[in-house]
Amino acid sequence: MPPKDRAHEDGTVLVGRQAQIECLSAVVKDLTDGRGAILEVTGEPGIGKTTLLGLLAERAAEAGVPVVRAHAARGVTQPGQVITEVLDVLEARDPPIAREFGAGADAEVRSVLGRWAARRGGVLVLDNAHLCDEQSARLIARLVRRPPPGPFVLALAHRPRQSGPVLREALEHGVETGSVTRLALSSLDLRATATLLGRSRSHLDTTAPHALSHSAPDHAYTEWRASPAPVVDGTYAEQLHAASGGNPRMLRILVAARWDPDEWPLSPGPDRHGMLREAVSVVTELDSVTADAALSVQVAAVLGDPFLPDDVAAVSDLGLERTLGAFTELVRADLIRPLPWGGGYAFRHPVLGHIALEHASPSLRVNAHRRALDLLTTRGASALRRARQAEHLVGAGSAQARQVLVEGAAEAMAKSPAAAARWLRLALDHLPAGEGISASRAVLVLDHCRALSAVGRLQEARSLVHDLLRHQADLTEDLRLSAYAVCGELERLLGRHQEAEAVVRTALELVPRPLPVPLPAPAAELITAYGRVQLFRGAYGEARDLVREAAEAAGAVGRAVPYLRALGALGDTQLGLLPEAVAEVTECARIVDALPDAAAVTMPDVLAMLGCAELFQERFHDAYRHLERGLQATTGATRRFIRINQLVALCHLDQLTGRLEPLGRRAEEAELLARMSGVDEAAGIAMTLRATGLLWTRPRRDTDRLLELAGEGLSLALRKRGWRAAVAVGLRAQAQFLGGDPAGCLRTLVEEGGPQLQRLLRAWQPSLLALASVAALRCGDIDAAREWAATGETVAEQLGLPLQQQHVRRARAELHAAEGEHRLAVGLFHEAAESFRRAGLPVEHAWTLVTGAPSVHAAHGTGQALEWLDRAGKTARACGAQRIREEAARVRTLLPASCAPNGAVVATAQEANARATLALLTEREREIAELAAGGKRTKEIAEQLFVSTRTVEAHLGRIYRKLGIPSRAALPRALGGAVPRPTV
């Protein structure tokens, strides 16, 4: 007999069910050794019971054991039909004969099964045992209590909620006595869900963020082999896992519907036909109930979870008594379940409601939605609930339905902008035709553009607002200001900064000066858009005075206040006006922290700007708090552009605070979202952040590949010359320095940042000037190193940021070490290291200890130097900074060589570092380095070592990277006393 679902195919592995698979393997092994078993598989509908039974049947057949499979079906009226079919197959009766099961029926069944399994064993697989007729259930229960002797396995799957008491009691008794092995399948965990989605990610069409296609296998949760769910960001799998409840069947149905997290739970996704194709088994369940139950379940789907019997009765017109009877049937069929409070009910899973609704006839849906809307309106339900009904009625020309959609969109805008966009589009499409642009239509268009922007549909929104501006003569002044503000913001998000500035500047001429008090909302929106445009262009100074005036004019209350305060805080920080910026951040944080979560998450852009300002001001704890709070309100499809900024800022925080593992995940998500959105400069920053993070965690052999990644990131970022590009320049230079290319580091800083790095982010200029100083020192230019350090000290003093000052202090320590002033160097290294430690910057703390260890050795001896290295290694190990651990190990092995037998210091810290670096070279590289430093030409080295000149050049290139030098000319200085002078 064929199973309900297709058998487990191709040997693909069940995801997340390793323990159950091992149990099946043990059952089959025992079977081949002559021992039988009773196996019970339980779990929610769609959880994978049939698949597990299929795997048992496959493995038993592979072991040469005969298998018979049967499954019960709804609506069977012949007593004992399931057992009759099994016996007919075993006794080769075709056509089947009518059987009468009397008092000795169980003995007959045991006898037939015993003879069948006696020679090679046998496996009887019974699926959907909860649907068995009463006679079959009693016979199965007796088999459970007294199975045939020998190598016989009875494996049955059922839903305990629907199984009869006789079967449940027999199985429970068997579990208690140990004669029954129960495999209770629970929901898949997040890891298993992510595995199912991730294995097929290469097939994702990233141009359509939620473009899924229906081609998953029928069985419950084997590996999907085509057209997977799109993991568009780091939260998609988690969101889809939550929506499906970890149920494999529900997961497949949602994927087939092209599930959109921003539409859920109002909608399963745009592909309703795909959903129904995947939901055949659920549709079969719905079709098996009586007419009253079918009508009740469809009306319940119209009303949505949770629903009350009284409401279903009112909308269906069945009356309460018939409705309660239908509910009893639906509960018995486990299609709906009573809630523990309020007398309400809900579908077994929310997906069932969507399937039931889509499966209903169009006429029933329209009538039910109309009745439901009238009922909810009478009861004063929220606009959000009423809009769910109105969207199915607006096509009938109902002005009431259209108004409900507008009100529902206003409620949905914060948490479900995708639904808001859909409802506003419907309302616009069904406005009465007329000449010109009315104020009501203009308001709807602008709200629609805002909703489209929130879900990333920028070009569509841009076309709408540009079309609206063609009719600006018909708009009031406030509407014109709002239209220009929306247009400017869209141009900025599309990366068209010059166009954005031109649009907003044009509208600013309409704003009276001085600004009116209190500031009207349209003017506040326009000025905020202008400030953002200049902020991302890296020219916030042009907007600063206007933004500050607007913040004062907006007063202490109103929605515009936190936006203007956050913008001013980030803008002043970007300009390096720290005293004013600190005051703005403090005030903005006070306003935002006073908001309840429900209100705060509606303004993730405020939280993003505030968190970025706090990052630059070294208020790391507050930055994490605000950025992660805002992150809750964004996804890969909703407010994607804000999420990109949030993720990039969090990556910076992760790198500073040594959270290198989450850094990689966030950077990958930010890069993916930025590429999907066409925001090249953000993708570039994310790539460079990932490269610098990996440079700390990966071994040195990966350096070349990671430097290429950082270089590609900078190239992307420089396509738009804004503040993001300025940040990416510093990241790229840092990557080059860590990768052993100090000359490249200097070139990047000077060519892209200007002679004094004045084009780079002001708040981070001291640390970048310090980086330039140390890079110059590595290149052997001590005079340039002094100049860079002096400039860094001046800027750090002006800014007053403590950690920026410590970066410069560390650079000054390296200068002292290079000049042999080790005691001065040690004091500065120690102060910087302790400051980084207290601030919670473990990578900088450990790097400072390793860098300062040679000076400690020179000034205070080996013991204290080794103590510094021990602390550095322990700190680096805790945060996964493999590069620091390698560097500490190299310095450790070479420290004793820098002292004479009497303890006198004979080597500078620079020489000690050179000897440590020399340990990086292979024997062949060391040999070539010594010959080249001694004055040998490439051809001479090749002839002496019997290799080709190309081989020598390749080795030299690797040597330069490892020693951090630009060319052969720097080899003698880099190798110091480790190489003999060239002979004459």
Give residue 98's pLDDT. 47
Q: Cβ distance 630 to 644 under 8 Å?
A: no
Q: Residue 10 above 70 pLDDT?
A: no
Locus of tokens 């991730």: 198
Least confident segment among 107-111, 408-412, 810-814:
107-111
Task: Compute the average pLDDT of residues 290-305.
Answer: 95
Residue 785 tokens read as 């190193």
The pLDDT > 90 percentage for the chain reads: 58
CA 939 to chain centre: 54
* Span of 261-265, 341-345, 705-709 with lowest mean pLDDT: 261-265
Cβ atoms within 10 Å, residue 794: 14
Closest-CA residue to 154 (of 114, 188, 190):
114
- Residues 450/413, Cβ–Cβ less than 8 Å: yes
Q: Mean per-residue pLDDT for 47-55? A: 92
Q: Where are the alpha helices (DSSP H) in 510-639?
A: 521-537, 544-554, 560-575, 578-593, 597-600, 604-616, 620-631
pLDDT at res. 99 = 52
- 5: pLDDT strictly greater than 50: no
pLDDT tens readout for residues 779-793: 989 999 999 999 999
Per residue, the 3-state secondary structure of 518-532, as one string, reads CCCHHHHHHHHHHHH
Q: What is the CA radius of gyration of the chain?
A: 36
User: What gap in Å lies between CA 796 and CA 649, rounded to an integer?
Assistant: 22
**435 CB burial (10 A radius; 0-12, 13-18, 19+):** exposed
Count of C-beta atoms within a 10 Å radius of residue 699: 10
Contacts 24+ apart (CB under 8 A), 265-272: 265/305, 265/350, 266/388, 266/416, 266/419, 267/354, 267/419, 268/351, 268/354, 269/210, 269/212, 271/212, 271/214, 272/358
Q: Work out whether strand 345-347 and strand 336-338 pair parallel, antiparallel, or are unpaired.
A: antiparallel
Residue 126's DSSP bridge partners are 70, 156
Q: Are 895 and 961 in contact, with CB atoms under 8 Å apart? A: no
Distances (CA, A) of 394 to 121, 271, 386: 65, 21, 12
Hey, what are 674's tokens?
């930025």
Q: How confident is the model at residue 687 (pLDDT cuts 50, 70, 90)?
A: very high
Decide if pLDDT at 601 tops 90: no
Residue 130 · residue 102 · CB < 8 Å: no
Rounded to whole angstroms, the Cα distance separating 348 from 161 reads 12
DSSP state at residue 702: G
Q: Between residues 945 and 766, which one has the greater pLDDT?
A: 766
Distance from C-alpha of 83 to C-alpha of 76, rounded to nearest angstrom? 12
Q: What confidence score (pLDDT) does residue 906 get?
A: 40
The three state secondary structure string of 469-508 is HCCHHHCCHHHHHHHHHHHHHHHHHCCCHHHHHHHHHHHH
Q: Please tell me the distance from the alpha carbon of residue 541 to that of residue 561, in angstroms, as a whole number.
A: 20
Q: What is the structure's pLDDT at 921? A: 72
Identify the pLDDT of residue 77: 59
At 427 the pLDDT is 92
Name which of 745, 726, 743 is nearest 735 in CA terms. 745
Among 470, 454, 382, 396, smallest CA distance to 422 is for 454
Query: What pLDDT digit, counting tens, does each position of 425-451 carry?
Result: 999 988 877 656 788 899 999 999 999
Return the minimum-mean-pLDDT range out of 48-57, 159-168, 420-429, 889-898: 889-898
**Can you give the pLDDT at residue 232?**
46
Separation CA 533–CA 485 (nearest Å)? 11
**Residue 359, CA atoms < 13 Å, CB-side half-sphere:** 26
Crossing angle of helices 680-697 and 723-738, rounded to 10°: 20
User: Which of the four pLDDT bands, split at 50, 70 and 90, describes residue 977?
Assistant: very low
Q: What is the pLDDT of residues 190-234, one digit of tens each?
A: 888 877 776 544 333 333 333 333 333 333 333 333 333 343 445
Of the listed ranges 88-102, 276-290, 322-336, 429-443, the least confidently predicted one is: 88-102
pLDDT score recorded for residue 432: 79
Q: Name the phi and psi angles at 65, rounded to 5.
A: -100, 130
Question: Is 571 in contact with 543 (CB distance < 8 Å)?
Answer: yes
Which range is least confidently modeled, 104-108, 560-564, 852-856?
A: 104-108
Confidence class of residue 311 from pLDDT cuts 50, 70 and 90? very high
Cα separation, 427 vs 180, in Å, equals 60
Q: Are the C-beta atoms of 141 and 174 separated by less than 8 Å?
A: no
CA 289 to chain CA mean position, Å = 41
pLDDT at residue 223, as a whole number: 36
User: How far, in Å, CA of 403 to CA of 440, rounded?
Assistant: 11
SS3 label, residue 899 = strand
Q: How far apart (Å, rounded) are the C-alpha atoms in residues 810 and 846? A: 12
pLDDT at 108: 80
Q: Is the pLDDT of residue 589 over 60?
A: yes
pLDDT of 402 > 50? The answer is yes
* Among candidate residues 757, 671, 767, 680, the one with its CA nearest the CA of residue 722: 680
225-239 pLDDT per residue, tens: 333 334 344 567 888
The pLDDT > 70 percentage for the chain reads 89
What is residue 970's DSSP assignment?
G
- In contact, 567 and 588? CB cutoff 8 Å: no
Q: State the pLDDT at residue 214.
A: 30
Residue 206's pLDDT is: 36
Contact indicator for 88, 96 with CB cutoff of 8 Å: yes
- 95 pLDDT more than 70: no
pLDDT, one tens digit per residue, over 634-661 is 877 778 889 999 999 999 999 999 999 9
Residue 939 CB partners (closer than 8 Å, separation 6+): 949
- Taking alpha carbons only, the member of 968, 939, 965, 962 closest to residue 952 is 939
DSSP assignment of 34-88 equals T--EEEEEEESTTSSHHHHHHHHHHHHHHTT--EEEEE--TT--STTHHHHHHHH
Is 282 in contact with 355 (CB distance < 8 Å)?
A: yes
* pTM of the predicted structure, to 2 decimals: 0.74
